[in-house]
Chain A
């Protein structure tokens, strides 16, 4: 009699061998497909006499870019133009993320407000802005600037010193003064002090049980030190306020309609999603947690800081980061309203040089770097805040 080990398993019934066969077939399939595509592509490129490679980055771009963070002219290279576009993408995403988090948090809290009017309005906002495509919203805000807002002469001024007109958003800034350097230095120093203060306070609390009023002291330090420095340096307060001269504003800072429309669209759209994230996070902390914290004698602020926030943030931060990433990816729609972001500049480059493969590859690499670094951060954060279970 044979034992089962000696019994020969038919090839098609052996999972281990089948697995090898399937994987080999997949590999072969993908390999053949790539060979076919590369072969076709090379033939097509040769026929259209397009050279491959990234040499074009050093050639003269010969197109202008409307908004640049550093010096650029049409005589500069494609590489420099793309760098400008990249910085513009970073700029709009960075400012957008900050504003989105603020607005989204406010909306999320408002959604849970015990005030019926506020809660309902916030719910309507969230529903409406989530359900309209971001591109349509961008077109709307773009048209809002160019068609609905008046010329600088009749500019709308929602707050003193801020003007909205068809040339964009114009607002006043303080004139540069030496003192601001020291104010900034004072702020950095205050941050460092707060950092060490926090360590010291935690150590002292662990050793003696005494609680140090950290939040209040840090606030005083962070605001007080720069203010005192500013005051000691003669309190410079001269403002560079925009003023009408002829048909346009002089002075102040002008932000283009394209940038403002893009920022407005991205922030209003993403904030609706962030509000839902924040709401879910706050609701995830059960009422028992608050009651337990209060019953062991914590004060209102401590309940929030020590019990609610740490638990809510664990739920909020992962989807929040993915919303931030969405905002960054959606900023690529700038190309539709003429803001020179990376995709827009890359698109122009593709049109002029015909280097379609390289251009699209560059776009993909840039966004992949964004999303991979975000997910690296997420992994680090998840590890850091993971529940330590007994």
Chain B
């Protein structure tokens, strides 16, 4: 028998030993049973036209449910003529994310670019300035809302998380205990209980007459939730910094703020970049929970489409489409996090 070429490869990787050979044959048989019908369903027999006339007769998937309602699924109730604005906001966000991928671009100017970018996105969504028509936030929905909740959630949660982590490491007993209680309390409960709190309890906390809109309340809940997880990640980074660094900073006569800002945090935050990306991924996935308090994010707009009698019964297709959006985003992020982990690994 040959040991090179495709046959050699198969011998080494698929048929080494009787157990693996049997396993390969079994798996190949199962794939042969399941994949061709799936391809038939999804591609060969499927209908794509927005009219959806073939759907009732066809055997295959009815992607028409997506193509016919794509604008509603992606943008929700945002005024039809103005939907270029959220689209542009999403494009800006994706462009910024792509540009930030390269670590050579990590300079102070990038930080300002992000600030300007986030502001522009907010402006595009909300309007009311520079001649843009104002769009009330209860009309926001779909993909922009999902991205807004997760990106602003993480951006705002990061400083809070860093402060909590510093508080937890602090030697002042009262501050330390507050931080520990907060972190453990939040990490112990599901996000949904915080979202419930934001939708039913939070209004009770406010003085009479003051009403804060629903999206902002959910955003606050997501920030408070994410901050606790970031705090734990940052704590890991703080513990990863060598004790000698603290002592060196002390011996230079730096005070606490200077020590943290100039010596400790730059090193600690570098260690925790990969786990922070993982938190971004879970924050991105977790924003889908706002469906439960009836915010029109990507998942809720999809469900609303499916409750239309014309499109009832095509849930699988619509959910697969949404799953694909989530998958692509998360896949890029997790790949990026793995790459960063390799790049940042200085071998110390």
- Give me the interface of A with B, judged by CB distance under 8 Å: 15, 19, 22-23, 26-27, 30, 37, 40-41, 43-45, 47, 113-118, 121, 127-128, 130-137, 139-140, 143-144, 147-148, 329-330, 332-333, 335-336, 343, 347, 350, 356-357, 359-360, 363-364, 367-368, 370-372
Contacts and interface: CB of A to CB of B under 8 A. Distances in A.
Contacts of A130: 330, 334
Given A22-B175, A23-B172, A367 B189 contact: yes
A329 B204 CA distance: 26
B326 A333 contact: no
12 contacts: A22-B172, A37-B205, A47-B208, A113-B23, A118-B23, A121-B27, A131-B334, A132-B285, A139-B303, A140-B319, A357-B201, A368-B189
A368 B185 contact: yes
What 9 pairs across the A-B complex have the smallest Cβ distances? Answer: A143-B315, A131-B330, A116-B13, A371-B188, A329-B190, A133-B285, A356-B200, A23-B174, A133-B288
Contacts of B203: 44
B204 A40 contact: yes
B172 A360 contact: no
A311 to B, nearest CB: 22
B298 to A, nearest CB: 9
B71 interface: no
B315 A329 contact: no
Given A44-B208, A133-B326, 20 more contacts: A23-B175, A26-B175, A40-B204, A115-B16, A116-B13, A117-B14, A131-B331, A131-B334, A136-B319, A136-B322, A136-B323, A139-B299, A143-B316, A329-B189, A332-B192, A336-B291, A343-B192, A347-B196, A364-B193, A367-B188
A371 B330 CA distance: 27
Contact of B205 (A40, A115, A147): A40
Contacts, number: 153
A114 B13 CA distance: 6
B42 to A, nearest CB: 14
A139 B201 contact: no
B15 to A, nearest CB: 9
B250 to A, nearest CB: 11
Interface SS majority for chain A = helix
Interface centre among A30, A356, A359, A367 (most CB of B within 10 A): A356
A115 B24 CA distance: 7
Interface SS majority for chain B = helix
A137 B289 CA distance: 12
Interface string B282-303: 0001101101100000010001
A140 B324 CA distance: 13
Interface of B: 13-14, 16, 20, 23-24, 27-28, 171-175, 178, 185, 187-190, 192-193, 196-197, 200-201, 203-208, 256, 281, 285-286, 288-289, 291-292, 299, 303, 313, 315-316, 319-320, 322-323, 326-327, 330-331, 334
Contact of A26 (B174, B286, B334): B174
Contacts of A357: 201, 204
A143 B319 contact: yes
Contacts of A364: 185, 188-189, 193
Nearest to B167: A26
Given A40-B204, A357-B204, A330 B190 contact: yes
A118 B201 CA distance: 49
A368 B194 CA distance: 13
Given A45-B204, A121-B27, A131 B316 contact: no
A330 B204 CA distance: 27
Contacts of B323: 132, 136-137, 140
A20 to B, nearest CB: 8
Given A140-B319, A143-B315, A143-B319, A363 B189 contact: yes
A360 B204 CA distance: 13
